Amino acid sequence: METVSKFEKHKTSLKAGQKAPDFCGTDQFGKNICLKDFAGKKIVLYFYPQDDTPGCTTQSCNLRDNYNEMLKQGFVVLGVSADSVKSHIKFAKKFNLPFSLIADEKKEIISSYDVYGKKKFMGITFKGIVRTTFVIDEKGMIDGVIDNVDTANHSSQVTTLSHFDRLSVTMSLPAKE
C-alpha cells in the first residue's frame, strides 16, 4: 500500500445546488426510508465508515446530544453506512441514537452520493466510505457538503453550514478524524 499526505482523500463529486440523489433503504427500526418521504423538510444525511468505531461513535453521539436543537431548526437526521440492520440496531441501542441509521450493505446509496473511494488511515491508502455529510433542503436540493467532518463538533458544522442557506458551500477545512 502507498502512503499519502495527511489530508489526501476522495471527495464527492456532488455539490451544493445539485439535486440530491433519491434513495431508499431500511433503518434499524425495520422501516423503509426514502428521500422522497422527507419532501418539505431539511435533511442532515451523514455517511460514516462503520458502527461502533471511535470516530463514528463520537460523530453519532454529537448529533444525538444536539438532536433536539437540530429538530427545533427543522432538521431530520439520517445516518448511512454499509453496516447491516442488525449492526445498526446494536449501535443505536448502545448509544441511544434517536434517528434512523440506514443499512446500505450493497453500497447503492453510498455510490450514488459518491462517498466511497480512496482515503488514508495511519498513512496507509485504501478504499472505503469517506465520512461526508450532505445538508439537503426542503425541495431535495443539496444546500451544502461537509467533507472534512469534525466528529466531536459535527452538529455545529451542520448548523453553521445551514446559515449559508442555498449558497454553494463545501466545508473542507482540516478537521480531526
CA distance between the termini of the chain: 21
Residue 56 annotated to the active site: yes
Residue 108 has, within 13 A of its CA and on its CB side, a CA count of 11
Residue 145 has, within 13 A of its CA and on its CB side, a CA count of 22
Q: Which of 24, 34, 56, 61 is catalytic?
A: 56
Q: Which regions of the chain does DSSP assign to beta strands (E)?
A: 24-27, 32-34, 42-47, 75-81, 100-103, 116-121, 124-129, 132-136, 142-146, 169-171
Active site residues: 56
